[in-house]
Amino acid sequence: MVTGLFSLFNSAIFKSLLVVVATILLDFVLGILTSIKKKTFEVGLLPKFIATNLFPYVGGLVVLALLSVYLAEMEYLYYAAAGMVALKFSKEALLDKIKDLFS
């Protein structure tokens, strides 16, 4: 069991999952900072935003990553999903929020 867990954390799937989750969290933090700068930040809306926009992406990728580690057929689906999510958050969101934050 320990060697299986060790191989999970050393796999390319886990490393790519960390990169995609870091991208999602960076987008989340930049969104908060941007809304604070624009003075539109509302703490009461934060839990709903986390439940509807953060957990579905992270949770879905974690489930796909775990399935991919144990079912080789799912690996292609995971990489496709992770690539699309990373592209969505990096291109659309991060670049626009960085421009808004520092302009």
Structure confidence by residue, pLDDT tens digits, 17-36 = 999 999 999 889 988 998 99
Domains: count for the chain: 1
pTM of the predicted structure, to 2 decimals: 0.82
pLDDT of residue 1: 47
Cα angle 35, 36, 41 (rounded to 5 degrees) comes to 65
Q: Which domain holds residue 50?
A: 2-102
pLDDT the model gives residue 5? 55
CB contact burial 79-98 (16+ within 10 A = b; e otherwise): bebbeebbeebeeebbeebe
> Over the stretch 50-97, which tens digit does the pLDDT of each residue have?
999 889 999 999 999 988 888 888 889 999 999 999 888 887 677 888
